[in-house]
Amino acid sequence: MKSSVLVARAVFPSVLDRLRGHFDVEANASDEPWDAAELRRRLQGKQGIFATGERIDVALLDACPQLRAVCNMAVGYNNVDVDACTARGIVVTNTPDVLTETTADFGFALMMATARRMAEGERFLRSGAWTKWSYDMLTGSDVHGATLGVLGMGRIGQAIARRGAHGFGMKVIYHNRSRLDAAIEADLGARYVDKPTLLRESDHLVLVLPYSAASHHAVGAPELALMKPRATLTNIARGGIVDDAALAAALRSGQIAAAGLDVFEGEPRVHPALLTLPNVVLTPHIASATVATRLAMANLAADNLIAALGCGPHAGRPPTPVNPGVLAGR
Ligand code: DGY
């Protein structure tokens, strides 16, 4: 008998077709997120969920005891209670690697737009306020040759560091839970430093660390106080890693020069103070948003779901499990 799966948000039709080749599929065609009660109702009797950031918590898992696979179309999986899934024998998967370079491109672009005041300049021009060239009009900070700080040196952090070191002659410093291999450090010219040093020395600090209880407000008022007044902060990781209220205060007082934010605490809501500030570039969580990469992410999430529920050429071996131990126990 075919397994039943739920696709919680709209996704590429070709990917839905692939899933329909293996499963009875119920799909959210409207792309409006379901609330928790609706998600629980729809997930009844389903063995798998193709998720795009929905909260998969103990209450939902307890209400859906037949669930066997949670396949997230994202590299981050802080929306899923992985320990609770593991305890129930549910495999959780994510979509690493396929988005690394695209996300690093965006992170670097956002950092550059922030340092060089591009969004502010565009707003200024469109408003009709540009009447003459001035020596100090919209002057920002150089990126080339500056010190790039990376907090969270996983795949995406390293890809950003590579762009900075090899493309822009930046000095790279980083802080991470674990230190990189010496060969990777040498290739990136990257120096491992403690977090206060990272904050003090970075001209452009980019956050690429996963969200967890431990990284909640990893950058708040005390951390911002250590940064240079000309420094920029770019967050492409997750909302909640930065204390957005403290950041808005630091941007307003000139404690740091500017910020580029693709992710927000409580998104899609944005802290109202950020919306009023000129020195912050705001984008709606689109770091991985190219057609090719989103398609690759969706196909990888589908590969995971198909294999996790025992179908396809890799039955029982989803390519990118987060809790692979569960598979060994099956
Ligand atoms: C990811 O892959 O984690 C992106 O942030 C999309 O959610």
Q: How many angstroms is it from 330 CA to the middle of ligand 1?
A: 29
Q: Do residue 121 and residue 262 come from a single domain?
A: yes
Instruction: State whether the beta carbon of 75 lies less than 6 angstroms from ligand 1.
Output: yes
Model confidence over 9-41: pLDDT tens digits? 999 999 999 999 999 999 998 889 999 999 999
Q: Looking at residue 323, which CATH number applies to its domain?
A: 3.40.50.720
Q: How many angstroms is it from 52 CA to the middle of ligand 1?
A: 9
Amino acid letter, residue 182: A
Helix (H, G, I), strand (E, B) or coil at 205: strand
Q: Do residue 87 and residue 16 come from a single domain?
A: yes
Query: Residue of the nearest CA to atom 2 in ligand 1?
Result: 74
Q: Do residue 210 and residue 144 come from a single domain?
A: yes
Q: Is the pTM of this model over 0.75?
A: yes
Q: How many angstroms is it from 125 CA to the middle of ligand 1?
A: 32
How many structural domains comprise the chain? Answer: 2
Q: Give the per-residue pLDDT at 213.
A: 95
Q: Do residue 35 and residue 112 come from a single domain?
A: no
Q: Do residue 144 and residue 170 come from a single domain?
A: yes
Q: Which domain does 257 fall in, by range?
A: 100-282
Mean pLDDT of the chain: 97
Mutation pick for ligand 1 pocket among 78, 99, 263, 294 (CB with most ligand atoms within 8 Å)? 99
Name 330's Cβ contacts closer than 8 Å, sequence gap at least 6: 89, 316
> Are 3 and 309 in contact, with CB atoms under 8 Å apart?
yes
Model confidence over 149-164: pLDDT tens digits? 999 999 999 999 999 9
Q: Give the per-residue pLDDT at 65.
A: 97
Name the β-bridge partners of 5: 25, 48
> Are 85 and 107 in contact, with CB atoms under 8 Å apart?
no
Instruction: State whether the beta carbon of 74 lies less than 6 angstroms from ligand 1.
Output: yes
